Structure formats: C-alpha cells, structure tokens
Amino acid sequence: MSQPALASSAPAPFLRRGFDWWLAQVKHALPPTIFFFIGFNLILWTKRLILEEHGVEFSGFLTATLAALLVGKAVLVTDNLPFMHRFDGAPMIQPILFKSAIYWLCVVVVRLAEGLVHFLSAGGLIADFSRPPSRALFLGTLFVNSDMVDGAIPCLCQHTRTQLALRRR
C-alpha cells in the first residue's frame, strides 16, 4: 500500500520544479520587458499625439506590448551568446556600445525582414523593395539606455556617471 503513496507524490516535485523554473524565467525577463514596454508605449503615445492633430484615429497598445515582450526576451537570448561578453573586462562604455550595436543590428534586420514580408504579401517584387526600417535610430538609443541602466544600477551610489562609464569593471 505504500507504493501508490510514492507514485502520487512523485509528480508534485516535478510540478514544483517546473513552476520554480518558470518563475525564475519570469523574474529574469521582467526588467527588460518593463523597460521596453515603457519605451515602446512612449513611441506609441507620441505617434498618437501627432496623428491626433490631423484627426487620424490610431491605437496600437497591444502591438507595443507584444513587441516589448518579444524584444525583452530577444535581448535576454542575445545576451547569452558567447561573443556578447567580449568586452566584459573593459571600461563600461565599451560593452555598452558593443551590445547596443549588436541589438540595434538585430532589430534592423528583423524590421527589414518584417517589411519585406508585408511588401511581398501585398504583391510586390523583391527587386522593388527599398523600404528602410523606421524608428531604427530611436531604438538604438533605447538599447544604449537599456544597457547603461543594466550596468550602472549596482554602482550608482559609489561613482559619478562619468567615472562609472570610463572605469574598468
């Protein structure tokens, strides 16, 4: 009779480990997701204000929120690639600029691919496609800010911003 008791208690640790793993993933993904949620909704807000002046209705809250979730997770995945830690011992400004450039390049490629898919689905030819990705410069600035916040939070009480950016870690 003790064997059925063991069999029923076996799934509990598996479910607990699965829940603990999921909770750790959510806690890890939450900071960049919140950062990009705020950034993308600021973009959306300014776009709505501009279009509202011309009497055009526009809403895209769900799109901005979904993009924040995707970009937040993509940043975490990209951050675990081996070449992303190339400048870890250098002054803080070097890894910030390096990681921001990689993130920006990834976003530009994805935005170009997204534009190409929409262009081809509308009946266009690849030879006629020349649409540059929009908001690429602003997203680059957002990535630099994201990396600076990520690297600077632990040290803000000890150093000024300039010393923090130029010192070795």
Give the pLDDT score at 164: 54
Please tell me the distance from the alpha carbon of residue 57 to that of residue 48, in angstroms, as a whole number: 8
Q: Is the dihedral of CA 5, 8, 11, 13 positive or negative?
A: negative
Give the pLDDT score at 73: 81
Please tell me the distance from the alpha carbon of residue 46 to that of residue 20, in angstroms, as a whole number: 39
Q: Is the pLDDT of residue 90 over 70?
A: yes
Give the pLDDT score at 52: 86
